[in-house]
Structure 1
Amino acid sequence: MKINSTVLLTLILLTLMLGAGSVSAFWGFTLGSSALKGVTTPDGRPTTKFTSAKSSNSQPGTLALLKEEEILKIVKARIEGKTKAAKSEKLEEDDEETNNSKQKPEEKPQEIAEEKPQQGFPINAENKGVTLSVQSARYSGGDLLLKVKMQNKGADSVRFLYSFLDVTDDKGRTLSASTEGLPAELPANGPAFSGTVSIPTALLDDVQKVSLALTDYPAQQLKLEVLNIPVAK
């Protein structure tokens, strides 16, 4: 009887152990399954990867690459648009300028008043077709300005050196003077040339008249003398 009771107890313990193990295994499987929900095995097939890549590119918000032809078309359209805009602005500006010019009255050219001859002038000297003419005598800026003209109607050109110009007053005194605008050479049958002979006013306190004498250089074959030029203030 003791043996039978021991065997029975052993069988009961084995049964309990098997039941507990089965319950533990089932409970563990249930917890693992719930934990792995939503987890999928990665697909290693190449075709699947390409398909998934295309589908992801088609989603909104992703970057779409344009073809070279489309880019060139877009750039060309923008350039043409800017060119047209610039042309239209230029045409508008031209129209405004045209309208403004039409609105403004035509300006008449101002008539240049001719200088009236000074009384007693001109005073001329001529030798061998070369003329020296004093057109006027006026005071300005501390100097007496003698406006002169020279012309050569002869067949040969004539040269002058104006440092040899002699200027004397009515008392025979030599006066210092400077020239401006007179040519160093008068061409044959040439035009008239204008210039100025300047004499400091300080030398003319008691002077009523002055005279000019000029010879050609270096030949000194002709002499031009303009005498008794009135310079009274």
Structure 2
Amino acid sequence: MKIALLRPFLFACIGALSAGPAAADMVSKLIKADLAKGERVFKKCKSCHTTDAGRKNKSGPNLFGIVGGAVAASPNYKYSKALIEYGGNWDLDRLDAFFTKPKSEVKGTKMGFAGLKKEADRVNLIAYLNTKSDTPIKFDAPAEQASSAETAQEDYEFGVLFDAPGVEETFYACGACHSEMIVAQQGLTRNGWEEMLEWMVDEQGMSEIDEPDYSVILEYLSTHYGEDRPNFPKPNNLNQTKETE
């Protein structure tokens, strides 16, 4: 499969990325990746990571240039010994394996994220991160987009959380570290949610949520998961969630 590169000297790099049948299969999937969906998936990561060039590290390293780049390469970030020893480059297959289950791919990594179960989420995320580079890999022209009917039939992706403005921001901010069910179980006042978010930052190492997302999330939580928990998931919804996991 022909792959066009933005810079001639990257032929050697892409050769490493696409070597072997597994990587070739990943390339074929990346050609069809949805960058907008990849950016949405990254919302699970942005509480700990930045992606733009020159941005500071947060609780996790800056990810600019990660696709095809060296492992543990973000300046001034203290990586775990395990990741440093993992070494090498972040080729497509390694990224896919790491994003699937970080602690299995790199035993001893500091990253607490559980991973992305859905292959489509991983592919879209890798494609999105590929754009965050001075020398992104340019794949062949994407295939035709799925029809609007097919898009409409996609599964609801926010688990047991109530579908209302703010659900997306809440799902990705909270789902980076735990299931959305933990969010739905709380039942706190607005002040209680504010204190909870402050505690997560001060005591649990969560990065601060930037505006406007912070206000959107706080409004969503206090409205739909207040003391009376008006949208606490019913048993049949819980069973449906388990069946799709």
Normalised TM-score (structure 1): 0.18
**Higher share in helix:** 2
Relative contact order higher in (CA < 8 Å, ≥ 6 apart): 2
Q: Which protein is bigger by CA-based radius of gyration?
A: 1
Normalised TM-score (structure 2): 0.17
**Higher share in strand:** 1
